Amino acid sequence: MIIFVGRSNVGKSTLILALTGKWVKRGKRPGVTRKPVEVNWRGRRVVDMPGFGFMSGVPRAKQEKIKDEIVRFIEDNAEEIEIAVLVVDGKAAPEIIERWEKRGEIPVDVEFFKFLEELGIPTLVAVNKTDKVRNIGLTIEFLAGKFGVPYGSIPEVFVPVSAKFGRNVDLLAKKIWEILEGKPHQRTSNTT
């Protein structure tokens, strides 16, 4: 099982469509996906999770409940989850993270990254909406710092993508399958 998690409106569902070609509900406003939705991709179960954080027209208490449901889903399925793809909005994430930190709160993206790490679930971070990002390298370095990913591991963990324009979606697919097949990340020859 492969799960897609992340804040609302970051493009999880759009990325799943781009990656798998399977139709999932998408939308312009946060809070479109409300329950885990499963599609089949090359024999694997791909689960589109609701987003956490702000959802338009949804009361705060309900948002918290959805977040708890996401956490419970991940805990209940931890054995089966082979990979998590944490999707972030490359344009909005740095500012949101800094805002939360200034308030003395742990940014929810950081919280989820660490949570997945603690459960031992291999996690890729898809930095989405790169069509709107000026300096992708800097953005990724910033996020790596916040997530506690060492500089040398950045290429293994972070994948800049644009789900809307299909940019780098093939690279994400490749990285997912490398993990699924347990291959070393940097294979330089095809000897077995």
Token look-up 């789900």 returns 163
Binding test (CB under 6 A) with ligand GTP, winner from 20, 33, 63, 168 = 33
By the rule CB under 6 A, 164 interacts with ligand GTP: yes
3-state secondary structure of 74: helix
For 27, the token pair is: 């939308």
Scan residues 24-83 and list those touching Mg ion (CB under 5 A). Answer: 32-33
Report the alpha-carbon distance of residue 168 to residue 110 in Å, rounded.
23
Q: What is the crossing angle of helices 108-118 and 93-102, to 10°?
A: 90
What do you get for the CA distance between the two ends of the chain, in Å?
A: 27
Region near ligand GTP per CB under 6 A, out of 24-32, 68-76, 95-103, 104-112: 24-32
Instruction: Pick between residue 21 and residue 104 the one whose CB is nearest to ligand GTP.
Output: 21
CB of 92 to ligand GTP, least distance (A): 10
Residue 9 makes contact with ligand GTP by CB under 6 A: yes
CB 87 within 8 A of CB 116: no
In a 3-state reduction of DSSP, which class is residue 35? coil
Nearer of residues 19 and 149 to ligand GTP, judged by Cβ? 19
**Candidate ranges 37-45, 72-80, 129-137, 140-148; the one touching ligand GTP (CB under 6 A):** 129-137
- How many C-alpha atoms does 26 have within 13 Å on its Cβ side? 14
Residue 69: Cβ within 10 Å count:
16
Q: Which stretch binds ligand GTP (CB under 6 A): 31-39, 72-80, 95-103, 116-124?
A: 31-39
Q: Which is nearer to Mg ion, 32 or 46 (CB)?
A: 32
Q: Which does 107 bind (CB under 5 to 8 A by kind): ligand GTP, Mg ion, none?
A: none
Cα-based torsion angle of the residue sequence 4, 69, 106, 129 in order, rounded to the nearest 10 degrees: 30
Using CB under 5 A as the criterion, which residues of the chain lie in contact with Mg ion when the complex forms?
12-13, 32-33
The residue ranges that bind ligand GTP (CB under 6 A) are 6, 8-14, 26-28, 30-33, 50-51, 128-129, 131-132, 162-164
